[in-house]
A and B are shown apart, each in its own frame.
Chain A
Amino acid sequence: MAQEKLYGVMAEFDRAEQLIEAVKQVRSHGFKKLDAYTPYPIEELQHALGHEKSLLPRLVLLGGIVGGVGGFLLQYWSSAIAYPLNIGGRPLNSWPAFIPVTFECTILVAAVTAVLGMLALNGLPMPHHPVFNVRRFALASRNRYFLCIEARDPKFDAAKTAAFLWSLNPTHVAEVEV
């Protein structure tokens, strides 16, 4: 068993507060590659995990700018350059009329970027993940809270890390096979 390759070591907690406290402890001991699993979103957990800096907001902003500028230029090009028509004596570049479509294009491209960017960054859809090798992990979608320290962390050592996790008062600690 000890010879098998591990994905990480996982601890199980009864209450959300215990998990958040454990995450803080683990991070203060210098572990970097860890993740927590809970039945429902917990805002405080995100801060504790230090997951605040995501690339996604910047991608979405970029998508919005591209959509807005592109939407406006598309209309400008078609009404003022490609097919210049005199409509009701209005100028060819009737920008007030272009605003609704510009706005919609901004939202459209930003929203599509958000969905695709999210998928690209988190690797979904993912049919299987090593954490499911732990039988009790099914409880993560019911009433238990899990914390996993991954083997790719430079400080990881299967026995020592498991012992350290036991010191945080979990109900179970299990090795996660790849």
Chain B
Amino acid sequence: MTERRWSAEEERYRAPAWLDRVQRRALLLGVFAALLSVVGALLSPEHFFRAYLVGFLFWIGIPLGLFGISMLQHMTGGGWGLVARRVFEAASRTLPFLALLFLPLLWGRRSLYVWARPEVVAESELLQHKQPYLNEPFFLGRALLYFGVWLLFALLLSRWSLQQDRSNDPHLHRRMQILSSLGLVAYMLTASFASFDWLMSLDPAWFSSLFGIHFVVGHGAAAFAFLIVWMRRLSGTEPMADVVAPRHFDDYGKFLLAFVLLWAYVSFSQFLIIWSGNLPEEITWYVHRQEGGWWWLGIVVFALHFVLPFFLLLSPALRREPARLALVALPVLVGRWLDLHWQAVPSLELHAPLLHWLDIAVLVAIGGLWLAAFLWQLKRRALVPIHDPHLQEALADA
């Protein structure tokens, strides 16, 4: 397919040239870290796979969260999301790439999931009982279903949005709204089940019904933190300098505040329910995470993902200043990654060192490659949806 000529209106919002430079650097860093990770994988496959699981879950949470937010914005409207819609869509279009990055997990399934090891299942009555759900073909089938649903909604929305740029068809606005209402429900359900499959089943004896929403809320927090960091960079130069205003950042800050609050609320609710019940099959999950360094890591997660951003984001002056807001968003991203690490690793090996060098290498590898894919997609369209009926009121100078 040949590249279509851009209209003058689209040209006005073409991505700035410095994105190429960042994309190249991200790709280089990603490839370098990936090579390092491959070496690590050969030396110590177990550490590699657990680092890969955490890294993968961290990075997929950002595009999934942005995809969810884009559907939310289609339904509610609001200038904050209109000026960021192209960031949402570019992130959504990286989901096929993340589906490819899921493949190494299938390769490492026996290293990660005890229920996938026939010799362990043969000796455990509990695992045999859970086998109708926790078995390899069904696990793969469900993963295909999750990605299928995400790709269907994400790519359709992204396509209609591009059509809107080109054709100015007024019906597309309503069509995207209707699709989003279905997609949001589908996303909540599939992402919840994905969290049960990929993360909760690491400890197949343990269960929590709040786990799914905890995972999805984590996506929301990570997505808004990422959005703040990127909108800040994009708003530094033309064309986005005339589009994004302090009031938009104020909204992003409020959303981030809401999501860190919700995260703390769900995290604590899960803990309180299990702590009150005090049942052996549930409480051990928390008992293990109180041992040694895990206790301290848990406190660090709570501080980075709740205490610090909560108090700082209360200030309206801070929320309206992109540079300071981005400084608050970064610790939330670190907290999100450590939260996933804290949830995953003690289920696999309790006396593991808190961090392994591979944890960082794999995180940077997936992140660099994903960021390059994201920027590549971001450049392919005008940075604002030029024919959205509400665009004029959303722009910074309006």
Contacts and interface: CB of A to CB of B under 8 A. Distances in A.
Interface residues of B, number: 6
A90 B277 CA distance: 11
Contacts of B275: 96
A144 B193 CA distance: 56
Contacts of A90: 278
B124 interface: no
Nearest to B277: A88
B268 A97 contact: no
B278 A99 contact: no
Interface in B232-283: 268, 271-272, 275-276, 278
A100 B273 CA distance: 12
- Chain A interface mostly helix, strand, loop or mixed? helix
Interface residues of A, number: 6
A99 B271 CA distance: 12
Contacts of B271: 96
Contacts of B268: 99
A96 B272 contact: yes
Contacts of A96: 271-272, 275-276
Interface string A56-98: 0000000000000000000000000000000010100000110
B278 A97 contact: no
A96 B271 CA distance: 9
A46 to B, nearest CB: 12
B298 to A, nearest CB: 14
A88 B275 CA distance: 11
A100 B275 CA distance: 14
A99 B278 CA distance: 17
A60 to B, nearest CB: 11
A96 B275 CA distance: 8
Contacts of A88: 278
A100 B272 contact: yes
A171 B184 CA distance: 51
A88 B283 CA distance: 14
A90 B278 CA distance: 10
Contacts of A100: 272
Nearest to B271: A96
A90 B276 CA distance: 9
A7 to B, nearest CB: 33
B306 to A, nearest CB: 13
11 contacts: A88-B278, A90-B278, A96-B271, A96-B272, A96-B275, A96-B276, A97-B272, A97-B276, A99-B268, A99-B272, A100-B272
Interface of B: 268, 271-272, 275-276, 278
- What 5 pairs across the A-B complex have the smallest Cβ distances? A96-B275, A96-B272, A99-B268, A88-B278, A97-B276
Given A96-B271, A96-B275, A100-B272, 8 more contacts: A88-B278, A90-B278, A96-B272, A96-B276, A97-B272, A97-B276, A99-B268, A99-B272
